[in-house]
Structure 1
Amino acid sequence: MDIKSPIMMRFLRCHICSKSLADPVSLNCNHSFCKSCLIQYLNQAECRDCPVCKKELPKETPGINIALKELVDAFAGRTQLDKIRNQDVVCRKHTPSWFCVDEGIAVCEDCQHSLWHAGHKLKRVKEAAESMKETLRSKLQRMEQQLDLCIYADEVYKDIVKHMAKQRATTERRIQEEFEQLHQWLREEEEARLTAVREEEEQKRKLIDRELDIIQGQMLALENSIHQIEKDLKQDNLSFLRDSKHKTNRAQCILQDPQVLSGALIDVAKHLGNLKHRVCGELQERVQYTPLILDPNSAAGWLVLSDDLTSKHSWEVDVGDRFKWVIGVARETVDRKKDCYLKPQYGLWSIWKYHDEYHATRQTLTLQNPPQRITVELDYEKGHVSFYDSRNMSLLFQYEDSFKEKMFPYFNPQADTSGTPLQICPSKGSQAGTNDIY
């Protein structure tokens, strides 16, 4: 013990007061100090850093290192009474009148020496209790608020899970329907092409059968002539010379040599050449391409979308004879689920109809012929948002501004009793142009 005592003394002493650690606290940098010494140092210092290595300290002073405290007390020979004195929060014999904020204990002036709390922050018991209660009330209120938020979030997520299940079922059904339409069309196309091959085979088979009938008739005539000539050749000379002219005429070949018809085979190249490419081309011609797809997750709650997510919205919009509508573009940050001010300073560039009047920001539009279809064009680089009558592309109104974030289509069908929806005007087989709008 004597050999280790100097080492233990250096290890168990405070780096500030150079005495044995009292109520030691240990920092993250592994340097230890008396709690009162560290508090006094921090109160006098201009910054919160370790007195030894100058490493930045956390905002809250760490608690007493119990293991190190027991080691120091054992090495210093402190009595068990001292431990009890430091651990007791409230004196059991007297009514304490002060509370040590630094050590978290009630101070009894009859049992404790004032020097034990030198440099500590002391408060009256009532004041300290009220202060701590107020802190706890504030924390309790915040915890209750957090609990309410957690309960709300829990309910929202449960609703989301239920809604996702409906979304999945609906989406699966729509995917199956879409692919069933494709499968049906492909089956019909396959059958049509198989039928074309069979019909070509039938037509060419009939042509070949007709040629075969002719050739078979020629074969029969030739066989009869050959048989008769062979019979004549077996006659004696006098008999052979009788009716020689008739025999000579019979031997004359009056038939044309048979020719195999060209193109009699099935035109395989016509049926199989680039088959997949041609089928895909025909499919693209038949399938409507919509350059704008709506996101039901960002649509207002009262807005009903069609199953294909295209009705009521498009760059070329069929407004028909509706009494009310709003169309235009909006900044990405605009909350499109809420009512929005129809002004550029609020992130919306639009025109709208209210009964028989057409409006843009701060003005009424005078239109000779009410448009049935309206085309919206966005030139991001030039800062133009233009609205045209789709019939003749005459300009209805144009905004000039500068854009610094993504832009998205904005549509509001309004509460219209006409029963006519805003309807997308799709383009067939096109995948370029307005599908990327920024």
Structure 2
Amino acid sequence: MSLEDELSCPVCTEVFSQPVLLSCGHSYCHQCITDHWSASGSRSCPVCRQLSPQEPISNLGLRNACETYLKERRSEKQRDEEWKCHIHGEKLQLFCKIDDMPICSQCKKGAHRYHNTQTLQQSVKQRKGKLKAALCSAEKTLSSLKNGATQDAEVSRYIQFQTLQTERMLKEEFKKLHQFLKKEEEGRIAALNREEKDKRGRIDGIIQGRIRSLSDMIREVEEEIKDNDIDFLQNYTSMMSRIECALLEPMLCSESLIDVPKHLGNLKYKVWKNMKDVCSYYPLALNPNTAPPCFSVSDDLTSVTSCVQQRENPNPLYRNCMVLGNVGYGDGVHTFTIEVGNSRHWTVGVCLELLGLVYGLKRDGDMYHILTSQIMFKMNANPKAMRVMVEDYYDLWFRRWRKVSFFDAKTDYHFAEISRVPLGRRLLPFVIPGERAGPLRVLPAEVTLTHEQTDQKLFFIQRYRICFLFCFGFVMVCFLYYFGYFDNGNTMSDRANESVSYF
């Protein structure tokens, strides 16, 4: 006897609806037993004929069993309908690799005639294998995250290394400033520790977030693999997408690292009001977050050297082969000086922020090369220090540009210039030391109270130069106009008469 027979009413032979239990132990639909008693005029059981003087009671266990059975039957019927082709009504037994969909035998003969197909079971087996392989990669990444073997953990360790190194330099600098700067030292170390806690907390938060995300994703995908074949095939693409998205590592930039120039850059100048006689002002600080592993930036961020071997604890997030400054130049006049010494291989200049366009001067042995052109030249006396100047200017069409000029800092000799540098973005200073060459060092600048006023005055003169050029052009036009129409005292009417008499 089938399960449906066990769950059917003896009167209506249908699955019980609101089943009730008689005193004899038999169950019937409430409506069926009520109608039977009304028709027969007695309260006897239709099966055993035993009288039931008491009112029948609801059979809750049987009712729950019937509802569960009906629900499963509806689900099975729905699945059977889904497993059938919507066009031909046949059972789906094949899988089209071209269109990535289940098909029936009629579809194979029609629209999918020339497509590569396989049985549904083979397709499910292959895709489950691929999905399990992808889950293995996700589990390995999850294990690496837990064991601290990913780039995120490497960045976190590098932040810790930067913190220790920066703290050591802060202590040495503050020792030179004696005890009256003790409060400043404690405040800056506290700021450094807060930044460390914040940035390491962000990295650790990213790691924990990825751990939770991967764990949830693996659990969800493993549960979905257990679905029936059709549901699995329908969800296969989304499951693979979730795995691929979960495996993508977050893009980290140098801003995730400790902002060393904020703590060490121009440290002495920041307390210049109290220590201006013993502290030097550097117009820029080299940013070690931009230095590749083969470059070593000094602890005070004023010099850089090319290393023969890769230094310990290299920066995991460097993006270029140069060391950038921590300041960007916009409008106005800006200068910085780099001591090159006797080095025969170096490159200095500025680069356009974000776009990567480089405007610099390179020395390679005895030859000097302007990076934006093919111009190469020699110099009689090689400079020991290079001064780079960035300033605005106007061309003959009154269009505004910037230019980068290079000077011998000792003799103030101007020997190279790059013009037509576009406006709109900041220019970042950069230095590149040559292989096995001496260090490139940022030289301190002389600071006066009129320093900013002088820059403004120079820029003011630049603007007035355009006015002078305009006035000069106007005078020349007037001059040409006068001598073009008044030659040897003859007027235009005299010239007209001469022309008539000639003809």
User: Is the pair's TM-score, using the shorter chain for normalization, greater than 0.5?
Assistant: no
Provide TM-score, normalisation by structure 2: 0.40
Structure of larger gyration radius: 1
